[in-house]
Structure 1
Amino acid sequence: MTSGSGAQYDTRGARARRIRSAAILLGLVGGFIAAVPAPAAADSVDCARVKCVALTFDDGPGPFTDRLLQTLRANNAEATFFLIGDKVAADPAAARRIVDAGMEIGNHTWSHPDLTAIPPQELPAQLSRATEVLERATGERPTLMRPPFGAVDDAVLAAAGSQGLAVVNWDVIPLDWENDTDIAATRAALTEQIRPNSVVLLHDTFASTVDLMAEFVPVLRANGYHLVTVSQMLGPRPPGSLYGTPP
């Protein structure tokens, strides 16, 4: 995957109209609420009783991650970042900023291979090296991992389980890497697919995705959604278990 070139910002009036339009469309999915009180802090949310969404961001940290963190914090939103080990090794401070912003981190392997296509003896190192560098950079040891491309088989689950990692894929896939700067297509896919307790696959390595989050996160909040981490929404996951579906 390569980073997007970034989306052009509309005029203030056009942007406001787009946000209003997206809010109306999203209301068809989750029940439009014209005016709602600000949701409670994520750590106090009971996702069995209120609408939650877990936004997840793969392949970072990258050059647009800090801007995304600003959007999330400005909207009292939390998310889960599945980080690539060699990128964290190159910029450990970026990973630390993600944790300092109150976000959850997960293991996205050391170098982003298809884990079902590499020799089985290479699986443990892809996970352990990423976990080690994440822990050194942030002081937190991940308990979740996402296989690149969502590719998973019994060998991947066994390797993850042996290292105390639960595997988390997704429910919502808006194809932001294919749409890239066509943020209207990504927005439409999100609007169509999101339901309460969805795990959403996105990428903070695309400027266009980060641009869209500046619009869409407030829309989710206005429609009564609480934006939480995977662990806050799903609870503890057994090592070696799989959430979500392969691609």
Structure 2
Amino acid sequence: MRVWAVPLALLALAVCVTCSVASHQQKEPPIAPYKAAVVDPAVLAKRLVSMQYGSGWPRSRKFDCSKLKCVALTFDDGPGEYTARLLDLLRKRDVKATFFVIGQMVAADKGGHLVRRIVEDGHELGNHSWSHPALAGLSHDAVQRQLQHTNDLVFKLTGVRMHIMRPPYGSTNAAVAAEARQEGLAEILWSVDTLDWLHRVPAAVTRRAGEAKPGSIVLMHDIHRTTVEAVPAILDLLARKGFTFVTVSELYGRTPSPGRTYTER
């Protein structure tokens, strides 16, 4: 979460994660046209077959989280300059996570190298809107554009259709949920907020992530260096407590249902 978003974020936290934003509609940030680099069809087809993308993506490792102490680590607002380092750390520990990406950030990474690496490393992708507005304050058409533009760009770059989304600031209402359903997206909130965007101290991020319970969804942001620096300690701490690291879909043992809202298992 960006620093400029602090006032709105604090308001969202104070009310509740499914807060309603004031009834008047806010002005939607402009969505600039973007021509995605097209993946070679032969290469994309090979990926689709070998990695089972599409409706079966990401491939589940078939954890039974009704019996295991599962936790889903999630990262918002990227991909950014620290995402590659985070992916290195997760790969070294064979940990899979869920990345809720912003369309503008994906577009800024020319060629889509980071979002493709997220997919190729076996992580789950989720839609975090195009430009990070509070969706509950937008018109129906604006919410649709925010979700569709990001969905379309990610698909052009990776061949993946995302099945989950996270509304920025947790700002959602019945209209946002209905549009998410229309786009085939489940709303994924969280049960553990590390507040890593506010307190840029790795030890503090680790301590808050360590409050996870079986079935928790942990909120972090891969755009912050201090968060990435905290990840090894977070993995060590939760591993000592007997946790198994899973993606959001693995946490539920299936793809979450479009339009429904999830905060933990």
Name 2:263's counterpart in structure 1: 244
Offset of 1:185 from its aligned partner? Answer: 2.1
Unaligned stretches of 5+ residues in structure 1: 4-41
Amino acid at match of 2:259: G
Percentage identity across paired residues of the two chains: 42
Pairing 1:64-213 to 2, within 5 Å after superposition = 64-91=82-109, 92-180=112-200, 182-191=201-210, 193-213=211-231
- TM-score, length of structure 2 as denominator length: 0.74
Output one character per residue of 1:135-194: Cα deviation in whole Å (capped at 9) or x when no partner: 1111111000000001110010011001111100001101010001x2222222222x21
Q: Which has the higher contact order (CA 8 A, sep 6+)?
A: 1
Amino acid at match of 2:213: R
Output one character per residue of 1:31-65: Cα deviation in whole Å (capped at 9) or x when no partner: xxxxxxxxxxx714211111110000000000111
User: Would the aligned equivalents of 1:167 and 1:242 in 2 still touch at CA under 8 Å?
Assistant: yes
User: Would the aligned equivalents of 1:75 and 1:218 in 2 still touch at CA under 8 Å?
Assistant: no
Name 2:49's counterpart in structure 1: none
* In structure 1, distance between residues paired with 2:118 and 2:152: 17
User: Would the aligned equivalents of 1:72 and 1:217 in 2 still touch at CA under 8 Å?
Assistant: no
Name 2:236's counterpart in structure 1: 218
Name 1:232's counterpart in structure 2: 250
Name 1:21's counterpart in structure 2: none
More off after superposition, 227-236 vs 54-63: 227-236
* In structure 2, distance between residues paired with 1:50 and 1:119: 42
User: Would the aligned equivalents of 1:62 and 1:204 in 2 still touch at CA under 8 Å?
Assistant: yes
Output one character per residue of 1:81-109: Cα deviation in whole Å (capped at 9) or x when no partner: 00001111221111001111110000011
User: Would the aligned equivalents of 1:88 and 1:137 in 2 still touch at CA under 8 Å?
Assistant: no
User: Would the aligned equivalents of 2:206 and 2:233 in 1 still touch at CA under 8 Å?
Assistant: no
Amino acid at match of 2:206: R
